[in-house]
């Protein structure tokens, strides 16, 4: 009996340790797919993820700004990341989601093809953006390396910045 | 430090209030120089400000007000008559005082404004008429005088009190006096403390003088008591009357000679009111939504008992919400008198400067407006009134020559008219001469000769609002720079207001500013264009008309229509907001006539949806500054509707060429070249799986692509998604949700599908059914049962199936 107890206690300790470890150098991201690529943004910048619903078109804006929608009384812009990344438009389907991202007072909804998962990734596994993208203007924050794939991490403040 | 800031804040709020009232009083004083009541009031303002500023160590302000006090004090005692020249100096000093107060507000210090010149002039006045009395003495006097004045307020009920001392024993009197004195001192102290706490200081009653006063009082009482010794006093009653009198004095002191009835008010931070207003906005949206849901429920559960109850609740909620909204709106309302107050002074200065005689008649100053509007309306009014004084009212000689009274009159009026406030400025001056206005504008190149010819008088009046226009021959310090009236127009338009001008030569000019009551929640007209809705502020909508397309003419590349006697230029809303024309426009369109300031524009829309109360929401940082869009609102159904910015829209309309209303894109949708049988796409709409399978089996041998839909609604959604380019549709008539006829009618509304063959496949065989089919736009009518070959051949014929694929 006492052996079992000890086992449980040691297990708990291990868990706690791992939690501490996570806090230190692990970044939590939410991954999603646009076109064939997997992207991610920090989990804390996401206000919510919702299923698509109707929006209102706004005139005189670039094509990737689909319009505005009502999120519980707030009027929020909706941006199509496919169009923004230069991919052909695709019909929205069951997997399409709106990710509502917030940075300070700036909020916007982004249309993505589908969600993948919440990702924990060690900081040491995140590399700088490839040299081919030019310095300040990139929306790419870094490239996360997972065992079997590569994830592009996006800069939240750049996504929410008006560039027209 | 915080405490100091708090006191300072209160000091500023109070001082500005006092000064505002002062302007009015001073002008009044000039007409009634003997009005002691007024003089006392004015004197006290200077005094209060002086007292408070010395307490707060604003030396410059103290210095200035001190000298003002001197002059006013003399006037009060009849040692000095108020002549216009004296008044000029007093007014100048008040302006300086304002400037100092503003400086203190902005920088918390009164350094950097030179008052010495003005002080010197004030001194001169107070010395000039008064022989030999030194400044210091006068000041001393002023101080003492004032302290007695204030004391007087407190002592007012005293006589009554003193009656109680009749026949009192001298010793008792002595004791009573001691007690009273102590009580009085304690009260004074408490009162002073209360005032300090309230940010008020009345150093006119510093401890020493009040004690002196008290001593004096004591002496007086003594003598009185000796004269008539008295039995038992009534201390409780006495204390009460003392207390109430001091209360009164407390209230009276800051408000100068305020009437005995004190208004029950509290000061509230505007931010809190704004927050309240936002919350009400949310509530209004929720209410709209509730009403919509109620309507839906009513339709679905007609006759059910709970409906009655729901109806009641909904109407109560909506009633209370509306009341609440009005109540909160009212808390933000200020009387427009706040703005009007400064005009008597302005007119006075202007008439002296321009050597004209002008009377200002103000009425309706109690009319209330939203705070934000009151703040914005001041400048435009200043410009209009300056303009009336300078250009409108003639010189006394001219007026007499014309047979008018020597003194010109400007009437400033405010009143409610429906959901709007109207501010009307009338003058009985020389009026606007349309011909002269046109000529001037021609000279300045503001309009072309052609425009001048076709211009109505009313349009000509509006020329005065054009930037760069000025009718004054020479630029005076008052006006003529051609900036003012332009500012009026922009400011009024910013408030969604309308300007109306009416004028008659030699009779006068009347300018009306019509302004909505509030800015946050507005009445809007909802219009539809294609599948989109837009909200237009109702304040800018003059009328709506339904016209047929034949009534639209094109002149110089612009669309116009005839509206009664006027020519109205038109613009299609879809040209401004880049709306894609998917639906075929009907023969008739609606024209929303927008009026803004003085210009008009007809906005062509497809449909009018209705009038609704909407709450203006910002589009946020990301989308701000989109031309033509003022914001967004959330509708009853939870959707977002954009609000049209009428000002911007009118500007944008200038660049829009004639609308291509009649233009059709039918040719473009011509099917691209077919290279294989599967390039042909056919939609099969039937609610029965078996029927769909039969049709599929019949068509499959041809090799065409087949898309299936369960009912009309689904079929329409597939069409709208634009995923396929259909060549033909096979439609069953009897279907749930949307039947075949309705579907056909809907499809024909789309430009793109106008020429697509629709083939009815049905078991209905009557002639009437066939007729309905044709009416709704079906080209073929196949009755079930049919042979597979027959169906295939009909389809082939209708889609121009290329023979080589067979």
Question: How much is the pLDDT for A77?
Answer: 92
Average pLDDT over residues B620-644: 83
Q: Quickly state the pLDDT bin for B53 (edges 50, 70, 90).
A: confident
Residue B406 contacts residue B493 (beta carbons within 8 Å): no
Domain identity same for B220 and B325: no
pLDDT for B162 beyond 80: no
Tell me whether residues B619 and A55 touch, CB distance under 8 A. no
Helix (DSSP H) and strand (DSSP E) numbers for chain B: 27, 23
- Structure token pair of residue A22: 């996570």
* Closest chain B residue to the Cα of A57, Cα to Cα: B532
- Poorest-pLDDT segment among A27-31, B13-17, B743-747, B788-792: B13-17
Distance from C-alpha of B46 to C-alpha of B93, rounded to nearest angstrom: 10
Residue among B620, B621, B640 minimizing CB distance to A70: B640
* Closest chain B residue to the Cα of A67, Cα to Cα: B623
Domain edge (last residue) among B587, B620, B653: B653
Q: In this predicted model, what pLDDT tens digit does every residue of B11-32 receive, in sequence order?
A: 787 777 777 777 777 777 777 7
CB B679: neighbour CB atoms within 10 A?
A: 17
Q: In this predicted model, what pLDDT tens digit does every residue of B568-577 receive, in sequence order?
A: 888 888 888 8
Q: In this predicted model, what pLDDT tens digit does every residue of B380-389 receive, in sequence order?
A: 888 888 888 8
pLDDT for B661 beyond 50: no
Tokens 């000091």 correspond to B11
Q: Quickly state the pLDDT bin for B251 (edges 50, 70, 90).
A: very low
- Poorest-pLDDT segment among B475-484, B523-532, B634-643, B660-669: B660-669
Contacts 24+ apart (CB under 8 A), B311-316: B314/B290
Distances (CA, A) of B433 to A122, B393, B440, B462, B522: 81, 14, 11, 12, 37
pLDDT for B144 beyond 70: no
Q: Which of A75, A77, A162 is the best residue to mutate to test the B interface, defined by the most B CB atoms within 10 Å of its own CB?
A: A75
Tell me whether residues B622 and A160 touch, CB distance under 8 A. yes
**Strand segments (E) across B616-678:** 629-634, 640-644
Does A141 reside within a domain?
yes
Domain identity same for B424 and B449: yes
Question: How much is the pLDDT for A4?
Answer: 81
3 state SS of B599: strand
Domain that holds residue B24: 2-133
Does A2 reside within a domain?
no
**What ipTM, to 2 d.p.?**
0.78
Tell me whether residues A75 and B617 touch, CB distance under 8 A. yes
Select which of B294, B387, B491, B751 is catalytic.
Answer: B387
Tell me whether residues A77 and B634 touch, CB distance under 8 A. no
* Closest chain B residue to the Cα of A104, Cα to Cα: B621
B63 is catalytic: no
* C-alpha torsion sign, points A50, A52, A53, A57: positive
Average pLDDT over residues B326-343: 83
pLDDT for A139 beyond 70: yes
Torsion of CA B384, B388, B390, B391, to 10 degrees: 110
Does A11 reside within a domain?
no
Does A77 reside within a domain?
yes
Tokens 């109680």 correspond to B164
Domain that holds residue A61: 25-159
Residue B584 contacts residue B750 (beta carbons within 8 Å): yes
Q: In this predicted model, what pLDDT tens digit does every residue of A77-107 receive, in sequence order?
A: 999 988 888 888 888 888 889 999 988 878 8
Mean pLDDT taken over chain B = 74
Question: How much is the pLDDT for B525?
Answer: 92
Does B139 reside within a domain?
no
Tell me whether residues B622 and A55 touch, CB distance under 8 A. no
Look up residue B253 and give its DSSP letter.
Answer: T
Q: Quickly state the pLDDT bin for B353 (edges 50, 70, 90).
A: confident
Q: In this predicted model, what pLDDT tens digit does every residue of B84-130 receive, in sequence order?
A: 777 788 788 888 888 888 888 777 777 777 778 788 888 887 776 44
Residue B497 contacts residue B515 (beta carbons within 8 Å): yes
Does B140 reside within a domain?
no
Task: Decide the pairing of beta strands B681-685 and B705-709.
Answer: parallel
Radius of gyration of chain B (CA): 40
CB B459: neighbour CB atoms within 10 A?
A: 19
- Poorest-pLDDT segment among B128-137, B263-272, B649-658: B128-137
Helix B712-721 and helix B740-748: axis angle, to 10°? 20
Distance from C-alpha of B402 to C-alpha of B273, rounded to nearest angstrom: 53
Tell me whether residues B629 and A73 touch, CB distance under 8 A. no
Distance from C-alpha of B624 to C-alpha of B207, rounded to nearest angstrom: 59
Domain edge (last residue) among B454, B485, B516: B516
Distance from C-alpha of B434 to C-alpha of B440, rounded to nearest angstrom: 10
Q: Which of B533, B623, B628, B642 is the best residue to mutate to test the A interface, defined by the most A CB atoms within 10 Å of its own CB?
A: B623
Using CB atoms within 10 Å of the CB of residue B483, give its burial: 0 to 12 exposed, 13 to 18 middle, 19+ buried. middle
What's the distance, CA B688 to chain centroid? 59
Distances (CA, A) of B94 to B26, B42, B67, B341, B360: 10, 11, 11, 15, 21
Chain A CB contacts of B723 under 8 Å are: 91
Min Cα distance B512 → chain A (Å) is 35
Does B658 reside within a domain?
no
CATH number at residue B764: 3.40.50.2300
- Structure token pair of residue B707: 């898309």
A22 touches chain B (CB under 8 A): no
A89 touches chain B (CB under 8 A): no
Residue B579 contacts residue B529 (beta carbons within 8 Å): yes
Instruction: Domain count for chain B, please give it.
Output: 6
CATH number at residue B528: 2.40.50.180
Question: How much is the pLDDT for B192?
Answer: 59
Look up residue A125 and give its DSSP letter.
Answer: G
Instruction: Give percent of chain B above pLDDT 70.
Output: 76
Question: How much is the pLDDT for B194?
Answer: 58
Distance from C-alpha of B58 to C-alpha of B201, rounded to nearest angstrom: 13
pLDDT for B208 beyond 80: no
Q: In this predicted model, what pLDDT tens digit does every residue of B618-627 receive, in sequence order?
A: 787 788 778 8
Cross-sheet strand order for the sheet of B532-537 = B607-615, B521-529, B532-537, B640-644, B629-634
Distance from C-alpha of B233 to C-alpha of B478, rounded to nearest angstrom: 67
Select which of B14, B24, B47, B780 is catalytic.
Answer: B47
User: B576: closest CA among B493, B490, B650?
Assistant: B650
Min Cα distance A151 → chain B (Å) is 27
Domain identity same for B477 and B363: yes
Q: Quickly state the pLDDT bin for B190 (edges 50, 70, 90).
A: low
- Structure token pair of residue B608: 């009018």
Min Cα distance A144 → chain B (Å) is 29
CATH number at residue A59: 2.40.50.180
Residue among B576, B642, B721 minimizing CB distance to A91: B721
Domain identity same for B511 and B542: no
CATH number at residue B416: 3.30.565.10
B588 is catalytic: no
A56 touches chain B (CB under 8 A): yes
Residue B61 contacts residue B97 (beta carbons within 8 Å): yes
Domain identity same for B355 and B392: yes
Min Cα distance B622 → chain A (Å) is 5
Question: How much is the pLDDT for B142?
Answer: 44
Residue B424 contacts residue B377 (beta carbons within 8 Å): no
Q: Which of A73, A98, A101, A108 is the best residue to mutate to test the B interface, defined by the most B CB atoms within 10 Å of its own CB?
A: A73
Does A147 reside within a domain?
yes
Does B145 reside within a domain?
no
- Poorest-pLDDT segment among A117-126, B127-136, B348-357, B772-781: B127-136
Domain identity same for B357 and B276: no
Residue B385 contacts residue B67 (beta carbons within 8 Å): no
Domain identity same for B588 and B717: no
Does B734 reside within a domain?
yes
> What is the per-residue DSSP string for B486-516?
HHHHHHHHHTT-EEEEEEETTTEEEEEEEEE
Bridge partner residues of B334 (DSSP) = B369
Question: How much is the pLDDT for A68?
Answer: 92
Question: Under an 8 Å CB criterion, which residues of B touch A?
Answer: 282, 285, 532, 576-579, 617-623, 626-629, 632, 634, 638-642, 721, 723
pLDDT for B511 beyond 70: yes
Residue B162 contacts residue B219 (beta carbons within 8 Å): no
pLDDT for B259 beyond 70: no
Question: How much is the pLDDT for A109?
Answer: 92
A143 touches chain B (CB under 8 A): no
Does A6 reside within a domain?
no
Tokens 């619903």 correspond to A53
Q: How many residues in total does chain B contain?
A: 806
Q: Quickly state the pLDDT bin for B676 (edges 50, 70, 90).
A: confident
Question: How much is the pLDDT for B253?
Answer: 42
Question: How much is the pLDDT for B535?
Answer: 92
Report which secondary-structure segment, H or E, holds B706: strand B705-709
Look up residue B168 and give its DSSP letter.
Answer: B
B69 is catalytic: yes
Tell me whether residues B622 and A77 touch, CB distance under 8 A. yes
Chain B CB contacts of A93 under 8 Å are: none
Q: Quickly state the pLDDT bin for B599 (edges 50, 70, 90).
A: confident
Contacts of B741 (CB under 8 A, 6+ apart): B733, B772, B773, B775, B776
Chain A CB contacts of B724 under 8 Å are: none
Does A96 reside within a domain?
yes
Min Cα distance B614 → chain A (Å) is 13
Does A133 reside within a domain?
yes
Residue among A59, A74, A162 minimizing CB distance to B622: A162
3 state SS of A68: strand
pLDDT for B728 beyond 80: yes
Instruction: Domain count for chain A, please give it.
Output: 1
Look up residue B433 and give its DSSP letter.
Answer: -
Residue A144 contacts residue A119 (beta carbons within 8 Å): yes
Q: Quickly state the pLDDT bin for A19 (edges 50, 70, 90).
A: low
């Amino acid at each position: 009996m006492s052996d079992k107890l000890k086992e449980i206690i040691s297990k708990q300790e291990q868990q706690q340790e791992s939690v501490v470890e996570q806090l230190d150098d692990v970044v939590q991201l939410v991954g999603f797919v646009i076109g064939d690529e997997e992207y991610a943004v920090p989990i804390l910048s996401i206000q919510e993820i919702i299923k698509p619903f109707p929006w209102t078109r706004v005139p005189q804006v670039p094509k990737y700004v689909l319009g505005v929608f009502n999120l519980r009384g707030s009027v929020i812009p909706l941006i199509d990341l496919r169009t923004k990344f230069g991919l052909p438009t695709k019909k929205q389907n069951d997997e399409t989601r709106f990710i509502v991202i917030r940075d300070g007072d700036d909020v916007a909804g982004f249309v993505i093809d589908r969600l993948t998962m919440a990702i924990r990734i060690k900081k040491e596994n995140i590399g700088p953006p490839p040299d081919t993208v030019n310095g300040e203007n990139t929306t790419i924050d870094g490239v996360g390396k997972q065992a079997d794939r590569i994830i592009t991490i996006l800069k939240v403040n750049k996504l929410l910045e008006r560039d027209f | 430090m915080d405490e100091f800031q708090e006191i300072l804040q209160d000091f500023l709020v109070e001082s500005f209030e006092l000064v505002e009232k002062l302007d009015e009083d001073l002008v009044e004083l000039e007409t009634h120089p003997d009005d002691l009541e007024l003089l006392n009031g004015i004197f006290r303002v200077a005094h209060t400000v002086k007292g408070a500023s010395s307490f707060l160590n604003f030396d410059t302000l103290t210095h200035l007000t001190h000298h003002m006090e001197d002059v006013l004090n003399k006037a009060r005692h009849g040692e000095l008559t108020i002549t216009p020249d004296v008044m000029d100096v007093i007014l100048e000093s008040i302006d300086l005082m304002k400037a100092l107060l503003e400086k203190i507000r902005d920088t918390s210090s009164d350094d950097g404004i030179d008052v010495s010149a003005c002080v010197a002039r004030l001194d001169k006045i107070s010395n000039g008429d008064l022989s030999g009395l030194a400044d210091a003495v006068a000041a001393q006097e002023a101080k003492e005088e004032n302290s007695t004045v204030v004391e007087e307020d407190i002592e007012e009920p005293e006589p009554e009190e003193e009656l109680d001392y009749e026949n009192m024993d001298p010793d008792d009197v002595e004791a009573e006096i001691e007690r009273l004195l102590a009580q009085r001192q304690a009260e004074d102290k408490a009162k002073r403390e209360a005032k300090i706490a309230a940010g008020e200081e009345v150093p006119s009653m510093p401890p020493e003088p009040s004690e002196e006063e008290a001593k004096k009082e004591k002496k007086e009482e003594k003598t009185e008591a000796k004269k008539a010794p008295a039995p038992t006093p009534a201390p409780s009653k006495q204390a009460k009357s003392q207390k109430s009198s001091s209360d009164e004095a407390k209230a009276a002191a800051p408000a100068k000679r305020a009437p005995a009835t004190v208004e029950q008010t509290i000061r509230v931070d505007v931010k809190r009111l704004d927050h309240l207003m936002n919350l009400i906005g949310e509530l209004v949206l929720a209410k709209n939504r509730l009403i919509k849901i109620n309507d839906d429920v009513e339709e679905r559960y007609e006759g059910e008992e709970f409906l009655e109850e729901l109806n009641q609740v909904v109407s109560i909620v909506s009633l209370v919400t509306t009341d609440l909204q009005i109540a909160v709106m009212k808390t933000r309302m200020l009387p427009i008198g706040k703005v009007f107050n400064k005009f008597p002074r302005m007119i006075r200065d202007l008439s002296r400067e321009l050597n004209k005689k002008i009377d200002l008649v103000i009425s309706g100053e109690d009319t209330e407006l939203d705070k934000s509007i009151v703040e914005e309306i001041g400048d435009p009014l200043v410009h209009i009134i300056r303009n009336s004084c300078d250009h409108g009212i003639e010189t006394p000689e001219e007026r007499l020559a014309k047979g008018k009274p020597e003194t010109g009159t400007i009437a400033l009026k405010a009143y409610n008219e429906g959901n709007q406030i109207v501010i009307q400025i009338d003058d009985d001056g020389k009026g606007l001469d349309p011909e002269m206005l046109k000529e001037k504008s021609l000279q300045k190149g503001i309009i072309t000769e052609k425009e001048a010819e076709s211009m109505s008088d009313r349009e000509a009046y509006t020329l005065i609002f054009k930037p760069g226009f000025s009718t004054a021959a020479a630029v005076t310090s008052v006006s003529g720079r051609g900036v003012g009236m332009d500012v009026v127009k922009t400011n009024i338009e910013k408030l969604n207001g309308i300007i109306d001008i009416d004028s008659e030569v030699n009779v006068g000019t009347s300018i009306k500013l019509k302004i909505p009551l509030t800015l946050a929640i507005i009445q809007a007209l909802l219009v539809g264009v294609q599948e989109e809705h837009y909200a237009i502020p109702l304040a800018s909508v003059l009328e709506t008309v339904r016209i047929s397309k034949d009534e639209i003419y094109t002149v110089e590349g612009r669309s116009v229509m005839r509206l009664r006697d006027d020519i109205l230029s038109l613009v299609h809303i879809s040209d401004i907001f880049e709306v894609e024309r998917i639906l075929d426009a009907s023969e008739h369109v609606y024209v929303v006539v927008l009026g803004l300031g003085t210009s008009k524009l007809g906005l062509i829309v497809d449909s009018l949806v209705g009038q609704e109360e909407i709450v203006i929401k910002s589009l946020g940082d990301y989308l701000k500054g989109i031309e033509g869009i003022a914001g967004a609102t959330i509708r009853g159904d939870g959707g977002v509707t954009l609000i049209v910015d009428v000002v911007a829209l009118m500007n944008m309309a200038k660049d829009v060429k004639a609308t291509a209303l009649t233009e059709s894109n039918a040719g473009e949708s011509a099917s691209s070249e077919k290279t294989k049988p599967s390039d042909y796409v056919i939609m099969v709409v039937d609610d029965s799986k078996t029927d769909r399978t039969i049709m599929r089996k019949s068509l499959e041998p041809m090799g065409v692509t087949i898309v299936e839909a369960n009912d009309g609604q689904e079929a329409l959604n597939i069409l709208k998604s634009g995923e396929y380019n259909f060549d033909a549709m096979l439609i069953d008539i009897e279907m749930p949700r949307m039947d075949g006829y309705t579907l056909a009618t809907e499809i024909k509304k789309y430009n793109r599908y106008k020429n697509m063959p629709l083939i009815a496949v049905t078991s209905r065989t009557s002639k009437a059914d066939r007729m309905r089919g044709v009416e709704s736009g079906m080209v073929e009518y196949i009755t079930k049962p049919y042979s597979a070959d027959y169906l295939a051949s009909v389809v082939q014929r209708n889609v121009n199936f290329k023979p080589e694929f067979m």
